C-alpha cells in the first residue's frame, strides 16, 4: 500500500519540489497540499497521512501549534518540520513538540529523501509492532518486563549499527535514554538533558557538578565517534543502508557532510553534533 504525505508550506515552489521528490523516488503519493496553518490540523486528521511535512512559520497558525493539536488528537503519523530558522532553542522547542525530524531550508534533496524514507519506515514499524502487541501480549503482569527487554534489545541493535558496542560512553547513553523514556511515561512535560544527567548521576550515587560534566563529556565523545563512523561509511558508499538510515536521523546532515570533508581532508573542520537530536533520533526508532 502506498505511503501518503501531506505538505503544508506557504511557498508553492517548496511544495512542488517536495512533491516531485516524493514522486521521483517512489516514496508514495501526496494527498493534499496546504499553504496556510488555518484548519491544517483538521485537514491532516481528515486525510490521515503517514507523514506530514510542514513549515515552522505558517500564516494564521505556526507549525509547532499544529503539531501540538495533532498530538492531542492522537494522530498516528509522523511530522517533519522545515524552516529557515537556525536558532537552537527554537529547533529544540520543535523537537519537544513532537516532530520526528527538522529540515533546514533551503532543502537538500538527498537529505529530504533519506529522512522521508526513515519516517515511512518508522510509521510502518510502529503500526506493525502495535498490531503484534495488541494481538500477542495478553499477560499484563509480564508486559512491563517484556517491554523493558525489548527496549534494551532495540538499543543494542542501533548501537551495533553505529559501531558503538564496547565504547566507554555507551552505558551512559543507554542510561540517559532509559531515564528519558521513564520521564515520558510519568509526565507529558518536556525534559531537560541537564536534569536527566543529574538523575543518572544520582542513581549512581554521584550527585556532583563534576560527575555531571564528566557524564556529558563521555556522551559527547561517544556521539562524535558515531558521527565519524557514519561519515566514514558515507565516504565509502553514499547509499549504504546504515548511512541512509542514520545520517539524517541522528545528525544535522550538513554536519555529516562536513565530517566527510574532514575525513577526506584533515585540515577541514570536523562536523558538529547535537546531543538532543541524537537522543531523539534513537528514541524515534524505539517501540515503547
More confidently predicted of 91 and 129? 91
Per-residue H/E/C for 49-87: CCEEEEECCCCCCCHHHHHHHHHHCCCCCEEEEEECCCC
More confidently predicted of 122 and 69? 69
63 in the same domain as 39? yes
| Percentage of residues of the chain with pLDDT beyond 90 | 45
- Ranking 21-30, 127-136, 176-185 by mean pLDDT, the lowest is 127-136
Q: Read off the pLDDT band of 135 (50, 70, 90).
A: low
Q: What is the pLDDT of residue 122?
A: 78
Segment 202-218 shows an average pLDDT of 89
Q: To the nearest 10°, the Cα dihedral for 26, 30, 31, 37?
A: 150
112 in the same domain as 29? yes
280 in the same domain as 148? yes
Q: What is the pLDDT of residue 139?
A: 46
pTM of the model: 0.53
- Ranking 72-86, 141-155, 187-201 by mean pLDDT, the lowest is 141-155
166 in the same domain as 222? yes
101 in the same domain as 166? no
Last residue of a domain, one of 80, 99, 127: 127
Does 50 reside within a domain? yes
| CA-closest candidate to residue 121, choices 20, 245, 6 | 245
> For the segment 138-170, what is each residue's pLDDT rounded down to a tens digit?
444 444 443 445 788 888 888 888 888 878 788
More confidently predicted of 130 and 103? 103
Mean pLDDT, the chain, rounded, equals 86
118 in the same domain as 90? yes
Q: What is the pLDDT of residue 132?
A: 62
Last residue of a domain, one of 82, 102, 127: 127
144 in the same domain as 123? no
165 in the same domain as 108? no
- Ranking 86-90, 128-132, 268-272 by mean pLDDT, the lowest is 128-132
CATH number at residue 9: 3.40.50.2300
Output the CA–CA distances (angstroms, integers) from residue 112 to 25, 103, 107, 235, 257, in the order listed. Answer: 11, 8, 7, 19, 14
Contact between 181 and 151 under an 8 Å Cβ cutoff? The reply is: yes
Segment 212-216 shows an average pLDDT of 92
159 in the same domain as 89? no
Would you say residue 251 has pLDDT above 80? yes
Q: What is the pLDDT of residue 133?
A: 58
51 in the same domain as 76? yes
Would you say residue 20 has pLDDT above 90? yes
186 in the same domain as 114? no
Q: What is the pLDDT of residue 218?
A: 93
Would you say residue 196 has pLDDT above 90? yes
Segment 74-82 shows an average pLDDT of 88
Last residue of a domain, one of 61, 95, 127: 127
Q: What is the pLDDT of residue 131?
A: 62
More confidently predicted of 213 and 143? 213
Domain that holds residue 75: 4-127
Q: What is the pLDDT of residue 127?
A: 67
How many domains does the chain divide into? Answer: 2
Amino acid at each position: 500500500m502506498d505511503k501518503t504525505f501531506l505538505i503544508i508550506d506557504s511557498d508553492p515552489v517548496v511544495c512542488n519540489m517536495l512533491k516531485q521528490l516524493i514522486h521521483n523516488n517512489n516514496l508514495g503519493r501526496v494527498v493534499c497540499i496546504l499553504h496556510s496553518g488555518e484548519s491544517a490540523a483538521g485537514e491532516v486528521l481528515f486525510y490521515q497521512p503517514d507523514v506530514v511535512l510542514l513549515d515552522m512559520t505558517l500564516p494564521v497558525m505556526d507549525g509547532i501549534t499544529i503539531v501540538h493539536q495533532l498530538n492531542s488528537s492522537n494522530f498516528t503519523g509522523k511530522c517533519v518540520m522545515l524552516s529557515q530558522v537556525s536558532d537552537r532553542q527554537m529547533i529544540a522547542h520543535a523537537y519537544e513538540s513532537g516532530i520526528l525530524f527538522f529540515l533546514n531550508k533551503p532543502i537538500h534533496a538527498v537529505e529530504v529523501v533519506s529522512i522521508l524514507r526513515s519516517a515511512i519506515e518508522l510509521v510502518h514499524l510502529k503500526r506493525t509492532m502495535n498490531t503484534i502487541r495488541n494481538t500477542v501480549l495478553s499477560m499484563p503482569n509480564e508486559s512491563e518486563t517484556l517491554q523493558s527487554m525489548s527496549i534494551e534489545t532495540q538499543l543494542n541493535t542501533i548501537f551495533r549499527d553505529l559501531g558503538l558496542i564496547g565504547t566507554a560512553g555507551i552505558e551512559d547513553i543507554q542510561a540517559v535514554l532509559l531515564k528519558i523514556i521513564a520521564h515520558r511515561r510519568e509526565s507529558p512535560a518536556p525534559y531537560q538533558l541537564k536534569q536527566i544527567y543529574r538523575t543518572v548521576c544520582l542513581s549512581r550515587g554521584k550527585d556532583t557538578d563534576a560527575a555531571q560534566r564528566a557524564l556529558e563529556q563521555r556522551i559527547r565523545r561517544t556521539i562524535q565517534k558515531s558521527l565519524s563512523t557514519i561519515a566514514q561509511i558515507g565516504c565509502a558508499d553514499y547509499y549504504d543502508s546504515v548511512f541512509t538510515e542514520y545520517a539524517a536521523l541522528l545528525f544535522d546532515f550538513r554536519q555529516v557532510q562536513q565530517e566527510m570533508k574532514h575525513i577526506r581532508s584533515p585540515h577541514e573542520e570536523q562536523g558538529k553534533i547535537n546531543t538532543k537530536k541524537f537522543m531523539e533520533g534513537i528514541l524515534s526508532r524505539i517501540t515503547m
